[in-house]
């Protein structure tokens, strides 16, 4: 399978909505650049950053839900929107439930669910993952030259015609080759525990919040 350079699809803003789910424990420039690169490449109206309440696939977040939400609100820039629906819903955050809820709110808009390579490779472990394409497109961000694992059940949905991601409501998988920053929340938390500086890994307001709240100091 092939990935395409975003220059081919960049254009004017359309009504399509991007969705980036994550723990955001804490949000960092890797998340923000991912959201902004995909927004620009596809001409999305906005990208909604949706923090999970809890996940059946990973350990409980270190920061409390309201702290992760507060950091996101301090981090967003124009074009990015914080969407707290999974926190409001509570319980285990299943992406399928979130996409159903977004589809109810935006009945005809193209919805583009954005995944990093790690998330794509774990997709077959997600709850009701085969139904995700009934509600949204999957936009997988990869680096130039990096190959992702194939998911045979989704092969037929794969497209290199990225115009379809913003002109049809759902049903396609697009692998978008974009520059990604080698930053992870795990690394930020480790740096904080080691007393290292977090500047330029996440926005200054997030660094200030982490410091003020005494976050991520405990092993
Ligand atoms: P952790 O290190 O705690 O696992 P994380 O930094 O990977 O966290 P998540 O909140 O788990 O962040 O990730 C949310 C989404 O953002 C996932 O789809 C993930 O692939 C993607 N993502 C995380 N970091 C980056 C990055 N540096 N570049 C591109 N995508 C990223």
Q: What is the pLDDT of residue 118?
A: 84
- CATH number of 17-213: 3.40.50.720, 3.30.1340.30, 3.40.50.620, 1.10.3720.10? 3.40.50.620
pLDDT tens-digit map of 114-153: 998 888 989 999 999 999 999 999 999 986 666 788 899 9
| Cα 6 to averaged position of ligand 1 atoms, centre (Å) | 20
What angle, rounded to 10 degrees, do the helices at 65-75 and 204-213 form? 150
- Give pLDDT tens digits for 165-204: 999 999 999 999 888 899 999 999 999 999 999 999 999 9
pTM metric for this prediction: 0.92
Where are the chain's structural domains?
17-213
Q: What is the pLDDT of residue 136?
A: 98
**β-sheet with 17-22: strand ranges across:** 80-82, 46-51, 17-22, 111-115, 137-142, 173-177
Total count of residues recorded for the chain: 219
* Minimal-distance CA residue to ligand 1 atom 9: 22
Torsion angle of alpha carbons 197, 203, 208, 210, nearest 10°?
-70
| Choice from 24, 26, 34, 98 to test ligand 1 binding pocket (greatest atom count within 8 A of CB) | 34
């Amino acid at each position: 399978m092939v990935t395409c350079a975003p220059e081919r699809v960049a254009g004017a803003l359309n009504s399509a909505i991007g969705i980036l789910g994550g723990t955001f424990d804490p949000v960092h420039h890797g998340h923000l650049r991912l959201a902004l690169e995909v927004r620009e490449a596809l001409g999305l109206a906005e990208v909604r950053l949706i923090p999970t309440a809890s996940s059946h696939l990973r350990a409980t977040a270190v920061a409390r839900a309201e702290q992760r939400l507060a950091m996101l609100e301090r981090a967003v820039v124009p074009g990015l929107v914080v969407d707290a629906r999974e926190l409001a819903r509570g319980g285990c955050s299943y992406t399928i439930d979130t996409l159903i809820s977004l589809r109810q709110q935006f009945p005809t808009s193209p919805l583009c669910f954005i995944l990093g390579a790690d998330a794509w490779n774990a997709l077959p472990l997600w709850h009701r993952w085969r139904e995700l394409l009934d509600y949204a497109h999957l936009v997988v961000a990869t680096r130039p030259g990096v190959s992702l694992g194939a998911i045979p059940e989704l092969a037929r949905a794969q497209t290199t015609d990225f115009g379809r991601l913003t002109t049809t409501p759902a049903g396609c998988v697009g692998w978008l080759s974009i520059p990604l920053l080698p930053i992870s929340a795990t690394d930020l938390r480790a740096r904080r525990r080691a007393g290292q500086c977090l500047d330029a890994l996440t926005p200054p307001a997030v660094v200030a919040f982490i410091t003020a709240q005494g976050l991520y100091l405990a092993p």
